[in-house]
A and B are shown apart, each in its own frame.
Chain A
Amino acid sequence: EDQVTQSPEALRLQEGESSSLNCSYTVSGLRGLFWYRQDPGKGPEFLFTLYSAGEEKEKERLKATLTKKESFLHITAPKPEDSATYLCAVQVAGAQKLVFGQGTRLTINP
């Protein structure tokens, strides 16, 4: 069964304290891995798509990396406005739908 596991469930950091969020996946074949940010009461906002192991993408303080078994979302010198739930999802080869992880609730304290 295709599965996506995110860790930790919740993470509290001080402003400026860098860290990483993990997304481990077990799928029959990976078509793409997606990272989204979701604020309370809103729909997910697209961040990155990664397609193959070794690929990296960056946007402001965020950097996503991908291996054959997991993806990391690195956040460098975070600010309070980076507080949100970060969702990881995979698209399995031959399918259209996304399989989501449970998310990581990130809180950045000023």
Chain B
Amino acid sequence: GAVVSQHPSRVICKSGTSVKIECRSLDFQATTMFWYRQFPKQSLMLMATSNEGSKATYEQGVEKDKFLINHASLTLSTLTVTSAHPEDSSFYICSAGTGGADTQYFGPGTRLTVL
């Protein structure tokens, strides 16, 4: 159990375009989902926390107008990178939990390359 999927696994786009990444909890209801980015050989950096049905909470320094997060249901959250630039190229990973002091289960990640 506790499987989280992400789609797509890889995406290459041109500078200035927008990219949407989906995160789904397949066998449980996720009241809370988290979005991270990870640079090579570095640890995970939390971008935002989203609770189903409410606005996401962004970490300091993360532009909420650039990284749009929607958590429309208990099994789906989306991250849209708007007007992507090469510096947005990274590995984006989502995680999902049922809230409280509960384990977060991670998706397989999405590799974004902006040309």
Contact = CB atoms under 8 A, between A and B. Distances in A.
Interface of A: 31-32, 34, 36, 41-46, 49, 51, 87, 91, 96-98, 100-103
Interface of B: 2, 4, 6, 32, 34, 42-44, 46, 49, 91, 93, 95, 97, 99-101, 103-109, 111
Given A34-B104, A46-B103, A96 B49 contact: yes
Contacts of B101: 31-32, 51, 91
B22 to A, nearest CB: 14
A69 to B, nearest CB: 19
Contacts of B44: 44, 87, 100
A97 B102 CA distance: 10
Contacts of B43: 87, 100-103
B106 A43 contact: yes
Contact of A41 (B46, B104, B109): B109
B106 A44 contact: yes
A98 B104 contact: yes
A41 B46 CA distance: 18
Nearest to B100: A96
Contacts of A100: 43-44
Contact of A43 (B97, B100, B108): B108
B106 A46 contact: yes
Contacts of A102: 42-43
Given A42-B108, A43-B108, A46-B2, A96 B93 contact: no
The interface centre, meaning the residue of B6, B93, B106 with most chain A CB atoms within 10 A of its CB, is B106
B109 A34 contact: no
